[in-house]
Structure 1
Amino acid sequence: MPQAEKGIYTCEELDRQTSVQHRTFDLQLVNVIGSHNEYLLEGETLELTMNSSDTVSSMKIEWFGPRKTKVKGSKQRWTLENNDRILRIRNLTVQEDNGMWECHILPSGPILFYDVKVIGFLKALDVEMMFAAVNSSVILSYELNANLQQAKRLPESSVLIWKPTEDTMAPGTKIPVIANSSYVVKNISNVHFENAGWYQCQLKFRHGYLNKTIHLVVMKVSAQPIRPLTEEGDVTLCCQVSAPFPPMALLRWEHMNDTKEAPNPAENKFCFQTRTVGLWNCRLLVKNELKISLNYTVEKPPSTEKEFPLLQVVLGAGVPLLLLILTSVFVAFCKIIKQKRQRARRMVLAKQHLLAKRTCQCQKSLTNDYYHA
């Protein structure tokens, strides 16, 4: 189909009587053009213009946003100019401006559409807090509203930069956008207390860049003296949060039914002394919402009670008993040897008497010394 051009068009129509009927149409072309023909970034300004070949000023125009919100008059973020033919939108946002805008030509004109593509974070561009405990892992992540791999009009040289905001001279860590098409990610695998602070995410494009500032809050717990609990003194438990302390926040120590809390602790640290052993839990709450939780166990002091020396008693009683048994056996053995020796002497004496032919007279008054032999 050839491209339409404005002008007067005549249509000839033949009826049954072969008469010619002429109809004339005045074709006017209208469309919406934008000041940018590529992806826009949050915070930029876009100007939409209803372009028409008709210069009649009586044409009435109405604009509607992607959420079907009617644009009425001049507001802080938009203005209408040139009999509402020009709509200027300032400080573009993903939440309100990304999508299809409509231009209605009244009373019976067409509805014109213009697709506004805004790239930005799904969350508002403000300072956001993220929370982490020492020795844990944290992912500084923000989701973009668009898949950059599928964006056709983005430069390939776009990079993502993460850097602490305090060190403005640091070049930051550059990550190609193609490495992650829809998420802005920085991973800290082992969080230290010194990792706390502000981080700036900067997404660069050909005609601008996006910034996102993140405040990482880190919490740690400690004890003095280090566990276990001593017999002489208490243990001091401390829970510390990196500065500045989050607004409307408090630190709370919990143990079974015991609770201690500090809404505005000095130097962002809440310490107290205790002799209660067991598991203590420190919590950081912001607007009554739990953000970080860390445990610390106070161990029992070493036991001072002497255990019953069963082995020593057994050994102590066993050695004398063994000696007693050995002594008894030795005494009995010696007695048996002595008796055998006495019997041997008597046998020798009897043999001697027999050899000497001595006659043993049985007399009542005499004792027979050989009877036992």
Structure 2
Amino acid sequence: MELCSTAVSCMAAAFLLLHLGLISSMAQQNEVQTGLVGGEVTLKCTGIPLDSKLSRDEVSWMYYKTLLWRTENNNAWRTSAFPTHRADVKMENKQLRMWDLKLSDAGIYTCKSSSHEVRISLHIFKCFQNPDLERKYATVDSTVILSWHLNSQKIKWKEGFTGQLNWKQQEGANAHELLDFKVTAQGELHETKKSSNFLFEIPERNAEIIIEVKLPKVYFNHSGQYQCQLEYQGRHVQSKIELVVMKVSANPDGPLSRGANMTLTCQVSGPLPPNAYLRWERVNGTTMDVKNSRQREIKLEVNISAAGLWSCHLIEDNDRKISLHYHVEEAPVWISYVIIGASVAGSLLVFALGCLCIISGISWQRRMQRRKRMAQARQYLLENKTCQCQHRLN
């Protein structure tokens, strides 16, 4: 009898332990959620009752074992670890909303009450391998390819996403859509060219998902911001490439004759960052043949003694990003003689024309005087004839 009673007690204890274990396993949930760098995500306390008992129950949010936020006696307070400027918690449902996500935000978040616990594994992905804002340099008439690499191998997309590539020449200007694209969940990329006025090409792709545009011949007005934007599950993420274009010119253009001066101009399409500057320098020249400027345009006046190859460099953090060259040529001697001869001939021609004008003027004045005298003589003769006729009649 005692043995039977002991067996029943053991069975009851085992059943109670099993029941408690089931309650414990039901009260703890494990979830997985994904977010994009620069995007937004909401972590939910699934299973916590939304009734009057919640106000008296203590609820807390933890990042791994670090306390971020909790309620106590119907009051909420944050710890110093809470990302105040990028997150908040809604008191009515205790949801943790985070925005402007960073890769470092990934990890285990736990929403815990006295009777329930939700563990959320947050995975943060960066859609672009590019930085959020990249600067690329090019020279006029060169070829440039702008690329956005997607982390398609690292992210297991649940569904496809769409995107577009826009260009605007400067901040605040109207954006022009160059192309739109769609990526399927299987990683297939489909692109549609939208702009017919902008001269660009879409290079052939390899196995990676890369959004690319090729400018076969860069013009100065091709500069500006190229923005690639993705939309995934209602969220937007973007990456920009700022294209800076350089050009050089000379006034007057062409060979430089003795005694003449020439102005060399080097210009970039936008303001330079604080760590960059422009430099004119003569190849194989001296330190006297160098001029620097932190402005977007630099001018240099040269004469025949500075003939040779001049280079304009854009230097950023002591690294030459792009360079353009201009060859200042000395005009051949015979050209100088031709110029001198043409000047002398021109002077003589002007002198001859002046003399011809003077001679013609004098001749014209003499003819006018001769005509005047003849007219006076005819008038005199006419008056004399009239007088003779009157005498005869008398």
TM-score in terms of structure 1 length: 0.59
2:109, 2:128 → 1: CA distance? 24
Match of 1:302 in 2: 332
2:135, 2:42 → 1: CA distance? 34
- What SS does the corresponding residue of 2:44 show, helix, strand or coil? strand
Structure 1 residue 111, shift from structure 2 partner = 9.2
CA RMSD, aligned part only? Answer: 4.0
2:100 aligned with 1:91, yes or no? yes
Question: Which one of 125, 132, 137 corresponds to residue 138 of structure 2?
Answer: 132
Match of 1:120 in 2: 127
1:83, 1:169 → 2: CA distance? 41
Deviation digits for residues 83-102 of structure 1, max 9, x if unmatched? Answer: 99643212223x333x4434
Is 2:46–2:118's contact at 8 Å kept on the other side of the alignment? no
2:292, 2:48 → 1: CA distance? 70
Match of 2:197 in 1: none
| Correspondences of 1:310-349 after superposition (within 5 Å) | none
Structure 1 residue 135, shift from structure 2 partner = 2.0
1:61, 1:239 → 2: CA distance? 58
Alpha-carbon distance change, 52 to 176 in structure 1, aligned in 2, over 3 angstroms? closer
- What SS does the corresponding residue of 1:273 show, helix, strand or coil? strand
Question: Which one of 299, 303, 311 corresponds to residue 274 of structure 1?
Answer: 303
Question: Which one of 154, 159, 169 corresponds to residue 154 of structure 1?
Answer: 159
1:79, 1:292 → 2: CA distance? 46
Structure 1 residue 57, shift from structure 2 partner = 4.1
Structure 1 residue 47, shift from structure 2 partner = 1.9
2:41 aligned with 1:46, yes or no? yes
Match of 1:263 in 2: 293
Question: Which one of 179, 183, 188 corresponds to residue 210 of structure 2?
Answer: 183
Alpha-carbon distance change, 290 to 206 in structure 1, aligned in 2, over 3 angstroms? same
* Aligned residues between the structures: 277
| Correspondences of 1:10-21 after superposition (within 5 Å) | 21=10
| Correspondences of 1:26-37 after superposition (within 5 Å) | 26=20, 27-28=23-24, 29=26, 30-33=28-31
2:236, 2:62 → 1: CA distance? 32
Stretches of structure 1 that go unaligned for 5 or more consecutive residues are 1-13, 305-373
What amino acid is aligned across from residue 293 of structure 1 in structure 2?
A: S
Is 1:240–1:268's contact at 8 Å kept on the other side of the alignment? yes
Is 1:282–1:293's contact at 8 Å kept on the other side of the alignment? yes
- What SS does the corresponding residue of 1:76 show, helix, strand or coil? helix
Is 1:229–1:299's contact at 8 Å kept on the other side of the alignment? yes
Deviation digits for residues 21-43 of structure 1, max 9, x if unmatched? Answer: 22323122212557xx6x54444
1:53, 1:298 → 2: CA distance? 79
Structure 1 residue 288, shift from structure 2 partner = 4.0
Alpha-carbon distance change, 44 to 210 in structure 1, aligned in 2, over 3 angstroms? closer
Question: Which one of 216, 222, 231 corresponds to residue 204 of structure 1?
Answer: 231
Alpha-carbon distance change, 279 to 289 in structure 1, aligned in 2, over 3 angstroms? same
Structure 1 residue 248, shift from structure 2 partner = 4.8
What amino acid is aligned across from residue 229 of structure 1 in structure 2?
A: L
| Correspondences of 1:96-107 after superposition (within 5 Å) | 96-97=104-105, 99-103=106-110
Match of 1:63 in 2: 63
Is 2:169–2:222's contact at 8 Å kept on the other side of the alignment? no
Stretches of structure 2 that go unaligned for 5 or more consecutive residues are 69-80, 190-204, 335-394
In percent, how many aligned pairs have the same letter? 25
Question: Which structure has the larger Rg?
Answer: 1
Is 1:92–1:118's contact at 8 Å kept on the other side of the alignment? no
What amino acid is aligned across from residue 31 of structure 1 in structure 2?
A: Q
Deviation digits for residues 38-90 of structure 1, max 9, x if unmatched? Answer: x54444332223445798946765223xxx98743461112356699643212
2:67, 2:332 → 1: CA distance? 76
Alpha-carbon distance change, 197 to 69 in structure 1, aligned in 2, over 3 angstroms? farther
